[in-house]
Amino acid sequence: MTEMLKGTLEGIVLAILATRPAYGYEITAWLRDQGFSDIAEGTVYALLVRIERRGLVDVEKVPSEKGPPRKVYSLNDRGRAYLDEFWTTWGFLAERLGRLREGGE
């Protein structure tokens, strides 16, 4: 996984959770579908542990047909505020890099 993707993965996952609650495997599957094919499931899991410990998501344990109950993550108010911040940073970066690409001013 490139360093750039690693730095934005947290924002990506929070943005996914802003659309609907999901469990870890669904998030990894979605990322793979979208072309982020070399993301390890463990890396996504490590990130989910992090955002849970930082209180950015609410977690509900839901029974599963196969295996133990799954943790379903949903974005809470703190997570939404954090995601807003991420988009602000992202906008800043994209705008500055865009300028650089066009030859600077």
Partner 1 sequence: MDTGSNEPKKRYQRYLEAVTGPFDDKRRWRQYKARVRALPENYRAAVEALERYLMHFGPGDGAEAASMFEDIADLFEHAAADGTPIREIFGENPVEFVEAFLQNYSSGSYVRRERERFADAVARAAGETPGDDERAVR
Give me the residues that bind partner 1 (CB under 8 A), please.
1, 24-25, 38-43, 45-47, 49-50, 53, 64, 66-68, 70-71
Please state the closest distance from residue 44 (CB atom) to partner 1, in A.
10
Amino acid in the structure at residue 54 = R
HSE, side-chain direction, 13 A CA sphere, residue 2: 5
Nearer to partner 1, 16 or 51 (CB): 51
Cα–Cα distance for residue pair 8/27, rounded to 1 Å: 15
Say which DSSP state 55 is in: T
Please state the closest distance from residue 15 (CB atom) to partner 1, in A.
19
Cα–Cα distance for residue pair 24/90, rounded to 1 Å: 24
| Residue bearing tokens 């939404």 | 80
Please state the closest distance from residue 4 (CB atom) to partner 1, in A.
14
Nearer to partner 1, 38 or 85 (CB): 38
Nearer to partner 1, 68 or 104 (CB): 68
